[in-house]
Chains A and B, each alone.
Chain A
Amino acid sequence: MNDPVHNPIELGAADETLRLIAHLPPPQGLEDRVHVALLSRPRRARILSWPSAPRLESNWMRSAAAAAIVFVVAGGGWGIYSRVQQPQAKVIVMPMHVATQGGFSSAGAMRTPNTLNGPVLAHPVLGPAKPARPVVRFPKPATLKPNRPVPSSAPGNAAAQTAK
């Protein structure tokens, strides 16, 4: 039976190779290079971080800073609110909604009721129709005789002489 478990030659070769690699000496100066790499690492950015670690003694500073931030934000908000006027409410007249039976809009079309049929002209109209003038009827004046002068005692002449 050729069972690989009982074949020590192959197993020995594999173990020997792996053990040989596992025992290879590290290159010289490895520690120094790792030390240099650790020393030349990028430092933490401290621009945005708190200058010192949070401690119990500095709680009052944190409270003061928080209060200052709240004050500045609230003051700024109030300043903007007081300067900027609120726009007047604009009244928009909406067209009357015409209910449609279907689901489509009427596109602004207005319903016109049917009118009665007018008189039919026998002859076509030749010119533009003039607007009808209102007929004013005055009472007929009394018939005057042509060779007879107007009497001076007429009320119209008297008024004219008074004005002179």
Chain B
Amino acid sequence: MSTSQAVFAGWMEIPENALTDEARTRADEETLAALVSQYSGTLYRVAFSVLRNPSDAEDAVQEAFLRVLRHRDTLHEVRDQRVWLIRIVWNIVLDRKRRSKTRPETDDVAELARVLPSDGLTAEQIASAAQHHAHVLACIEQLPSKERQVLMLSAFEELSSVEIAAVLGITESSVRSRLFRARNLVAGLLNHTRS
């Protein structure tokens, strides 16, 4: 083999590190695919609880995973991936809701009537239930944002108060006190509207 052939062979040779990078990229993609399969439903429900629109919630979930993909190099440093993902999607939906206009209660009634489970219920019962839930949600919307966020996250049974604190970036005692205040305020608002 001549010298030039040896040089060109060296240039054309695929280094081992390139294979390692490719394998790492593939592993990251597989991890991401597993995260999508495992947590996309949870993230969708979290997003829907704030946005209350199926297509907007799905967009938020996709955006959350795209952000994860952008920071996949730091994926192995994340301790609790579920809380980390919920925190990402929570920030996304809060940002989207801040930019969008306030939803009227009629929109919520129509949307809830469409998505709520209707097993064994008549159309009249479904409409009545949707109206009731929309009214409750309208009362919750009147709460201060800190209390409202804690109250909405507390509805997810899979989230403990420690995890809610991690999502919101506050202490657990703050979660408890805010939840207490939120429940009082909601009860007062519902009682006031009923009377």
User: Are A and B part of the same complex?
Assistant: yes
Q: Which residues of A contact B (CB under 8 A)?
A: 2, 4-5, 7, 10-11, 13-15, 17-27, 30-31, 33-35, 37-38, 41, 52-53, 55, 57
Query: Does residue B170 face the partner (Cβ distance < 8 Å to A)?
Result: no
In whole angstroms, how far apart are the Cα atoms of A41 and B62 in the complex? 11
In whole angstroms, how far apart are the Cα atoms of A73 and B62 in the complex? 47
Taking a contact as CB atoms under 8 Å apart, the answer to whether A22 and B49 are in contact is yes
Q: A94: shortest Cβ distance to chain B, in Å?
A: 65
Taking a contact as CB atoms under 8 Å apart, the answer to whether A10 and B33 are in contact is no
Taking a contact as CB atoms under 8 Å apart, the answer to whether A26 and B44 are in contact is yes
Known: A13-B132, A41-B69, A55-B15. A34 touches B62 (CB 8 A): yes
Q: Which of A11, A14, A24, A57 contacts B48 (CB 8 A)?
A: A24
Query: B residues within 8 A CB of A35?
Result: 33, 36
Query: A residues within 8 A CB of B139?
Result: 14
In whole angstroms, how far apart are the Cα atoms of A4 and B32 in the complex? 45
- Least CB separation from B183: chain A residue: A11
Interface string of B59-97 (1 = CB under 8 A from A): 001100110010000000000000000000000000000
In whole angstroms, how far apart are the Cα atoms of A100 and B190 in the complex? 88
Known: A4-B191, A19-B155, A21-B155. A38 touches B65 (CB 8 A): yes
Q: A67: shortest Cβ distance to chain B, in Å?
A: 18
Q: Which of B17, B45, B132 contacts A22 (CB 8 A)?
A: B45
Query: Does residue B100 face the partner (Cβ distance < 8 Å to A)?
Result: no
Taking a contact as CB atoms under 8 Å apart, the answer to whether A38 and B66 are in contact is yes
Query: B residues within 8 A CB of A34?
Result: 36, 40, 61-62, 65
Taking a contact as CB atoms under 8 Å apart, the answer to whether B44 and A10 are in contact is no
Residue in B58, B139, B157, B185 with the greatest tally of chain A CB atoms within 10 Å:
B58
Q: A33: shortest Cβ distance to chain B, in Å?
A: 7
In whole angstroms, how far apart are the Cα atoms of A57 and B11 in the complex? 13
Q: Which of B33, B45, B66, B183 contacts A14 (CB 8 A)?
A: B183
Q: A75: shortest Cβ distance to chain B, in Å?
A: 25
In whole angstroms, how far apart are the Cα atoms of A14 and B116 in the complex? 16
Q: A62: shortest Cβ distance to chain B, in Å?
A: 14
In whole angstroms, how far apart are the Cα atoms of A63 and B152 in the complex? 57
Q: A14: shortest Cβ distance to chain B, in Å?
A: 5
Q: A148: shortest Cβ distance to chain B, in Å?
A: 126
In whole angstroms, how far apart are the Cα atoms of A5 and B12 in the complex? 75
Q: Which of B17, B18, B62, B116 contacts A33 (CB 8 A)?
A: B62
Query: B residues within 8 A CB of A21?
Result: 45, 48-49, 52, 133, 137, 155
Taking a contact as CB atoms under 8 Å apart, the answer to whether A23 and B45 are in contact is yes
Taking a contact as CB atoms under 8 Å apart, the answer to whether A10 and B69 are in contact is no
Taking a contact as CB atoms under 8 Å apart, the answer to whether A4 and B40 are in contact is no
Query: B residues within 8 A CB of A30?
Result: 40-41, 44, 58, 61
